[in-house]
Amino acid sequence: MKYKIYASDEGFGHLVRQKAINDQLCALCPELTTTLQTKNHLHAAKLIFDNVSFVEKFNNISWAKTASGTPDLEAIKRDYSDYLERSEAHILSDDNLSDQTFIVSDFVYEAFEIASSQGLPAFGVAHHTWDWFFSKLYPLPVRTTVLRRFYQQARSAQQLYFPPLSPPDILNAYKDNCQEVPFIVRMRADTAPISTKRSFKILILDSGSRLLSVNIKQALEQLHKLDDIHFFVPEYFGIQADNVTLIGNNEVLMDYMPEMDLVICRAGFNTISECIAHRTPLLLVSEALNPEMESNMLLMKQHGLASFVSLNKLAEKFGPTLLDFLNGEYDLVKRHMADHDFRTDGAKVVAEDILNRVLG
């Protein structure tokens, strides 16, 4: 039995979620074989997945960003001006799924239409949808005809799965073919070897696309002044200090999370999910005009699982800002992380439901 994953070409977190689901699917159904289609992050996909066949093909979803990582509305408007035509061409170029039993996507709209037209069950996994994301931008950069097409295509999926902290209006929009599931995290998270035992340990992350690298690098230049804290940062920042450990480019940053006292990062959903699973406190970096990040931060704040700081404040006043947080809100965030009752077995829940629907 075979199935195909259509992975969005935006971000890296969805690849980790799809890997977790694929591991569970293969554990429950050992004869299952997997093909994954993506392009922009094919290299990352090959590092994350094993025993998977790959198809290098762009999956037709992207959004342009400014140098600071905020949505570039004019560029998005240009990119989606001919989307309906591109969508039709994309579907016609990928219309043979005769050897597949079902498809899973996070969150490629054409995949649902392709599967539906060939009578295959299709399943979607996401914490936000692109019709929701674009509709939150102002002025609206994508035509309403495109947003309606997105919605119709997603409605053709047999089932959509949304983890906790997904925006409530998405759950309402897709209430007829969606279900809420626990957080989707890796089946087994290895703990990276940590040599520093005594110091307070902080992991500082950028996005996979390094959207915040300029501001974070400015902040990192102040690390040597905080010599009672040990920092773990990606090696591409090139920061040298006695209280800094550089994490290699081929290492999995999330493997360090279980041993950390704090993670400082943008509010990417996969990072949030992993920190919740490991009960590691978060200090989230806010980004202007990004509806996904704003929603993630708001919902995390409501549950008391994180605090947040502006990108400019982090860059310009990193030391005082960090110390204010550690001497103030940190203990409350840590306690809420320790006490939360969120389940983190979403990958198993999704895999079981898919196989029940496919195999009966």
- 149 vs 225: which has the higher pLDDT: 149
Do 275 and 224 lie in one domain? The reply is yes
In our burial notation (b when 16+ CB lie closer than 10 A, e otherwise), range 67-76 reads: eebbbbbeeb
Whether 77 is covered by a domain: the verdict is yes
Instruction: Tell me how far apart the alpha carbons of residues 223 and 196 are, in angstroms, rounded to a whole number.
Output: 16
pLDDT at position 288 over 80: no
Helix-then-strand count for the chain, H and E? 15, 13
pLDDT at position 120 over 70: yes
pLDDT at position 290 over 60: yes
Burial class from Cβ neighbours inside 10 Å (0-12, 13-18, 19+) for residue 112 reads buried
- How confident is the model over 278-295, as a mean pLDDT? 91
pLDDT at position 189 over 60: no
pLDDT tens column, 49-108: 989 999 999 998 888 988 777 899 999 999 999 999 999 999 998 867 989 999 999 999
pLDDT tens column, 56-72: 999 988 889 887 778 99
Q: Which domain holds residue 352?
A: 2-184+344-359
pLDDT tens column, 214-261: 888 888 888 888 989 999 999 988 888 899 999 988 787 888 999 999
Mean pLDDT computed over every residue of the chain = 92
In this prediction, residue 101 carries a pLDDT of: 97
pLDDT tens column, 190-216: 666 676 666 899 999 887 666 677 888
Do 231 and 84 lie in one domain? The reply is no
Structural Rg of the chain based on CA atoms = 21
Do 153 and 252 lie in one domain? The reply is no
Do 311 and 225 lie in one domain? The reply is yes
Number of domains in the chain: 2
pLDDT at position 188 over 70: no
Supply φ then ψ for residue 265, to 5 degrees.
Answer: -165, 170
Contact present, 19 and 1 (Cβ < 8 Å):
no
The neighbour count for residue 255, using CB atoms within 10 Å, is 16
Do 215 and 171 lie in one domain? The reply is no
Q: Which residue has the tokens 């039995």?
A: 1
In 3D space, the residue among 16, 15, 130 whose CA is nearest the CA of residue 62 turns out to be 130
In this prediction, residue 212 carries a pLDDT of: 73
Provide, rounded to the nearest whole percent, the portion of the chain with pLDDT above 70. Answer: 95
Do 177 and 297 lie in one domain? The reply is no
Provide, rounded to the nearest whole percent, the portion of the chain with pLDDT above 90. Answer: 71
